[in-house]
Chains A and B, each alone.
Chain A
Amino acid sequence: GENVEQHPSTLSVQEGDSAVIKCTYSDSASNYFPWYKQELGKRPQLIIDIRSNVGEKKDQRIAVTLNKTAKHFSLHITETQPEDSAVYFCAELGGGADGLTFGKGTHLIIQP
Chain B
Amino acid sequence: KAGVTQTPRYLIKTRGQQVTLSCSPISGHRSVSWYQQTPGQGLQFLFEYFSETQRNKGNFPGRFSGRQFSNSRSEMNVSTLELGDSALYLCASSFGWETEAFFGQGTRLTVV
Contacts and interface: CB of A to CB of B under 8 A. Distances in A.
Interface of A: 1, 31-32, 34, 36, 42-46, 49, 51, 89, 91, 93, 97-105
30 contacts: A34-B100, A34-B101, A42-B105, A43-B90, A43-B103, A43-B104, A43-B106, A46-B101, A46-B102, A49-B100, A89-B42, A89-B43, A97-B56, A98-B45, A98-B56, A98-B57, A98-B59, A99-B33, A99-B35, A99-B45, A99-B46, A99-B47, A99-B56, A99-B58, A100-B35, A100-B45, A100-B101, A102-B42, A102-B43, A102-B44
Contacts of A31: 98
Contacts, number: 54
A interface, by DSSP: helix, strand, loop or mixed?
strand
A32 B42 contact: no
Contacts of A89: 42-43
Interface of B: 33, 35, 42-48, 55-59, 90, 97-98, 100-106
Contacts of B47: 99
Contact of B105 (A34, A43, A51, A103): A43
Given A31-B98, A32-B98, A43-B90, A101 B45 contact: yes
